[in-house]
Amino acid sequence: MPINPKDVTWIKEPEIGFWEATFLPAIAKGLRITLGHVTDYRPVTQQYPEQRPVLPQHYRGVHRLNRDEKGRVKCVACMLCATACPANCIAIEAAAAPPDWPDRDKYPAEFVLDELRCIYCGMCEEACPVDAIELTHIYDMTGESRAAMVFNKDALLGIYDKTKDNPADPVRTARGRLGPASELKNLATLGPATTVERGDRAATAPSPGVIGAPPPETRNTW
């Protein structure tokens, strides 16, 4: 499509004056900045590993598999993380949950995550309906072989045990069973994925546009 001449604004190059044409003011300005840095003795280099960086809350490091309040793996082996994973680095072997877990149908008999293949995008954390997989602030994992960097279920649960008391990696949720996907302890109830019709009585409960959530004490029963 040709461009309408009306939409075009023509701008003139600014005229260069005498001093500008000599470049001397620009050189002086540049030198001032350089000298300013040379004479600034405040250190900027972080003395790693003696000093460790304070990372932002949303930093995405090595994964952990969370435990529920009974210490069991929270994961329900739905494989949604493996489905979302663009690097194809999660392999889960599902099995029927042990008979003494009455609240669960399914659990991961094995959960293998290849930390070398992972690109730390965090899609798995986002996909998980029970907040079982989370990315921690650990960024300095090392191993002596490739195989050592392929973490199994126990290794991933171990990272949870290591990080759960770290204020940077708070345990944000309190449940391991499915229902209204996953209960959020401190966050406000979110609206439904679809739009809510105006005048729908159910939609007017706590605040406009938000479905009435049952009172907190009954939330676990459905």
Partner 1 sequence: MPTVYVNNQPVEFGAEERLNCVQAAQRAGVEIPHYCWHRALSVVASCRMCLVEVGQKKPDGAIAMQPKLIPGCQTPVTDGMVIVSDSDKVKAAQKATLEYLLLDHPLDCPTCDQAGECYLQDYSFRYGRGYSRLQEPKEQPPDKTYIGDQITLFTDRCILCSRCVRFTREISGTAELQIINRGNHAEIDIFPDEPCNNKLAGNVVDLCPVGALCSKDFLYKQRVWWLKTANSVCPNCSTGCSIFVDECEDRVYRLRPRYNPRAQGDFMCDEGRFGWKYVHGDERLHLPVQRDGGAAVSHDWDVVLPAARTALAEAAKRGEIAAVLSPWMTLEEAYLLVSYLKSLTSKLSLAVAPVRTVGEDDKYPKDVHGRTMEPTKFTIRAEKCPNRRGVEMILQHFAGSVMPMGDVLGRASSGAFTAMYLVGGDPQGWINEVQAAALDKVNTVIVQDILPSPASQRAKVVLAGGSFAEREGTFVNHAGLAQSIHRAIRSPGEGRPDGRILWDLAERRGLFSAAAVRREMADQVPALKPLLDAELGELGIKL
The least distance separating ligand SF4 from the CB of residue 30, rounded to whole angstroms, comes to: 43
Query: What is the number of H-type helices and E-type strands within the chain?
Result: 5, 5
User: Which option in partner 1, ligand SF4, none does residue 18 bind, with CB closer than 5 to 8 A by kind?
Assistant: none
List the x/- string, 202-221, binding to ligand SF4 by CB under 6 A: --------------------
**Which residue shows structure tokens 């940077």?**
168
Nearest to residue 182, comparing CAs of 105, 129, 125, 106?
129
The least distance separating ligand SF4 from the CB of residue 97, rounded to whole angstroms, comes to: 12
Hey, what amino acid is at 39? T
| DSSP 8-class letter at 75 | -
Whether the CB-CB separation of 105 and 97 falls below 8 Å is answered with yes
Residue 80 contacts ligand SF4 per CB under 6 A: yes
Q: Site for ligand SF4 (CB under 6 A): how many residues?
A: 27
Prior bond to 86 cis, omega within 30? no
Among 178, 183, 184, 204, binds partner 1 (CB under 8 A): 178
Nearest to residue 83, comparing CAs of 92, 70, 74, 75?
92
Closer to partner 1 by Cβ: residue 59 or 183: 183
Catalog residues that contact ligand SF4 under the rule CB under 6 A: 75-81, 84-87, 89-90, 92, 113, 118-124, 127-128, 130, 132-133
